[in-house]
Homo-oligomer: A and B are copies of this chain.
Amino acid sequence: MSQLVKDLGEKALLERLQQFCLPEVVGDDAAVIATQPGKSLVVTTDMLVDGVHFSDRTTSAEDAGWRAAAANLSDLAAMGASPLGITIALGIPGDTSITWIEQLYQGITQCLQKFATAVIGGDVCRSSVKTIAITAFGEVHSEYTIRRSTAQVGDAIVVTGVHGASRAGLELLLQPESRQKLSSSAQKKLIQAHQRPQPRLDVLPVLWEVICQTANTNAHIHVAGMDSSDGLADAVLQICQMSQVGARVERSFIPLPDELKNWSFQQALDWALYGGEDFELVLCLPPDLAQVLVERLGNGAAIVGEITDDSEVYLVDYTGKNPDEVLSFKRGFQHF
């Protein structure tokens, strides 16, 4: 009998399928193909399924649309690319209301408009389950492509903003009694973080400016990185695995939203590391550039650790109160 997907698991399945892909495009947030001298096309695709990735119980059609668009734009940002447009393929049951579909598209286009891009094509077909497949493409100056595989020992690890807010917002939606801890404005902020995440395309021009103004050698600066859509821990682990390096992440340096002070530090840290969907960028670059970058970005941007020649990623505590902890993919999200 043939092996089943649920027995193999997602990671192993993706590894099997890589044999069918161009080897040079495997392993990043998006695929990169050179189109003209000095420029590359960046392409990323995502499929979202009703009941798996969104549900009318917790997410309005408009929010589902926004988040789908945001996730794809975040993948482009994670590669250093500016968006050119997206396509939407939509599978829907015949008894879907037109209002639902229009609200979905409204959410998608609201997000795209904020980042000056647009829907440029699509397909609609019948399906027994609502399914949204988005493909986003962008353009990057080839030498500015951000990859997971180029982190170097000694690089500082920068996060472009606070982590854990999206997961906390989900908690407020799923467990309404947890809202009592918070003012209504704090509730709104966290729920907003979950429902209307902001892809960090705004980071890119700041990053390139910092590199051009600050880099004091002619040596080319490779910025390594990805987005934290599957959690901060996953992002650091992925980068280290692809770059064949280790890392030390200082627990007290991880920027948490002020609103999370009403939960235990351990809970907040857990959401920051494993909650996912914060859509910040996790970038590895030389410490002097990293310092300038976090100052320019503000709003929670921080250096959270450094790339090492270890074989592991450690969560450390400079006060010595907590022993070093080895981070692993095991706590991450598996789709099957």
Contact = CB atoms under 8 A, between A and B. Distances in A.
A277 to B, nearest CB: 15
Contacts of A188: none
A31 to B, nearest CB: 4
Contacts of A87: 31, 43-45, 135
Contacts of A124: 10, 13-14, 17, 335
Scoring A17, A35, A87, A128 by chain B CB atoms within 10 A of each residue's CB, the highest score goes to A87
A322 interface: no
Contacts of A36: 35-36, 39
Given A88-B45, A98-B13, A127 B129 contact: yes
Interface in A9-24: 10, 13-14, 16-17, 20-22
A217 interface: no
Interface stretch (A49-57, A201-209, A250-258, A302-310): A49-57
Q: Which range contains the number of A residues in contact with the other chain?
A: 35 or more
Nearest to A53: B125
Which 5 interchain pairs have the tightest Cβ spacing? A133-B133, A6-B94, A31-B121, A2-B97, A47-B89
Interface of A: 2-6, 8, 10, 13-14, 16-17, 20-22, 25, 30-31, 33, 35-36, 39, 41, 43-49, 51-53, 84-85, 87-102, 105-106, 108-109, 118-129, 131, 133, 135, 137, 139, 335-336
Contacts of A335: 124-126
Contacts of A108: 20
6 contacts: A20-B106, A20-B109, A21-B119, A45-B121, A52-B127, A129-B129
Contacts of A13: 98, 101, 124
Contacts of A85: 22, 31, 33, 43
Contact of A43 (B3, B21, B128, B137): B137
